[in-house]
Amino acid sequence: MTMIDENSAALPTASGPYFNAILHPYRSMGRKGFFWIIVCIGGAMLVMSIPFFLLGAWPIIGFAGLDVLLLYWALRRNCSDARAKEQIEITHDKVTLVQTSPKGHQQQFCFNPYWVRLEAVHEEDKGMTKLSLTSHGQSTEIGAFLHACERESLAQALKTALQDAKTTKTMHAQVSGG
């Protein structure tokens, strides 16, 4: 399950967030697991390569080492991709989305909660495959790294928070307008 740090309870004041979540890609393996996978696979490849080396097929050791290096690279890439995150905050006057890439580059999007809408793409076999915030022709995908059921849960929470923000904004407009 993907990590979702959530504080989505509606607050009585209009200045508090109705929804605030930080989304992280889920990675089941930590540093310890990474280390032991590389050690075990490297050791197994070495043990399997020695008989071939003794029979005169010495290039096998180089190819086995290359396999271990490729596995190391793939696992490191997977770990570095886990540094991506998205923060979504909904208040009575704006919806803020901050997307952070694995390299640390941030991109921020702001929407008016009254005009923003959620768009979801559902596929029969896969469930919800895409969730986007859309307003005035600008569409931004959110939770691309989430599993379909997590995306649906996020969509429901966002829908509720957006409805609360719109209701509060409408009530504030009615109170200030007379």
List, for residues 116-174, the tens digit of each pLDDT value.
Answer: 999 999 898 888 999 999 998 889 999 999 988 999 999 999 999 999 888 875 555 55
User: Is the pLDDT reported for residue 27 higher than 90?
Assistant: no
* Judgement on whether residues 163 and 92 belong to the same structural domain of the protein: yes
Domain containing residue 65: 31-81
Q: Residue 14: what pLDDT?
A: 52
Six-digit token string for 92: 């009575």
In this structure, the answer to whether residues 60 and 99 fall within a common structural domain is no
Whether 104 and 120 map to the same domain: the answer is yes
Pairing of strands 127-135, 3-6: unpaired
**What's the total number of domains in the chain?**
2
Same structural domain, 143 and 172? yes
In this prediction the pTM is 0.71
Based on the domain organization, do 129 and 57 belong to the same domain?
A: no
Residue 68 shares a structural domain with residue 154:
no
Output the CA–CA distances (angstroms, integers) from residue 85 to 20, 60, 113, in the order listed.
13, 41, 22
> Cα angle at 94 between 90 and 98, to 5 degrees?
65
Say if residue 16 is in the same domain as residue 104.
yes
Beta-bridge partners for 123: 127
